[in-house]
Amino acid sequence: MPYYFIQYIDTRIAGLNIAEYMIDAFEGGGTDGLLFPYEVEFGARIYWKRYFQRVYQVTNKKQLKQMIKEYGLHDYSVKWENLFDVLE
């Protein structure tokens, strides 16, 4: 399945789920593919941690590395260091 990257999405407004709404609208709007963050910013690391846990059942670094491999998201194509930092 093809994938696309979000360059930047505002996750700072807690409780409104704007980012999740936009992702769902993209993925469910007839677009064949998944949407991933290109870079997980420091301030958004907890949001993305919860998102990956809920959507992809990724709860630790090993599972995230496996997901990157399974989806063909090469380590050099994403900047997820901040996400790795908050996973066990």
* Cα–Cα dist 24/61, whole Å: 25
Residues 65-75, mean pLDDT to the nearest whole number: 87
* Cα–Cα dist 41/68, whole Å: 18
Selection from 69, 11, 67 nearest residue 39 by Cα:
11
Domain count for the chain, please give it: 1
Residue 24's pLDDT is what? 78
- The residue segments making up the domain with residue 37 are 3-86
pLDDT digits (tens, 9 = 90+) for 9-43: 766 666 777 777 778 787 776 667 788 899 999 98
Residue 76's pLDDT is what? 67
Residue 50's pLDDT is what? 92
Whether the CB-CB separation of 10 and 19 falls below 8 Å is answered with yes
Report if pTM > 0.85.
no
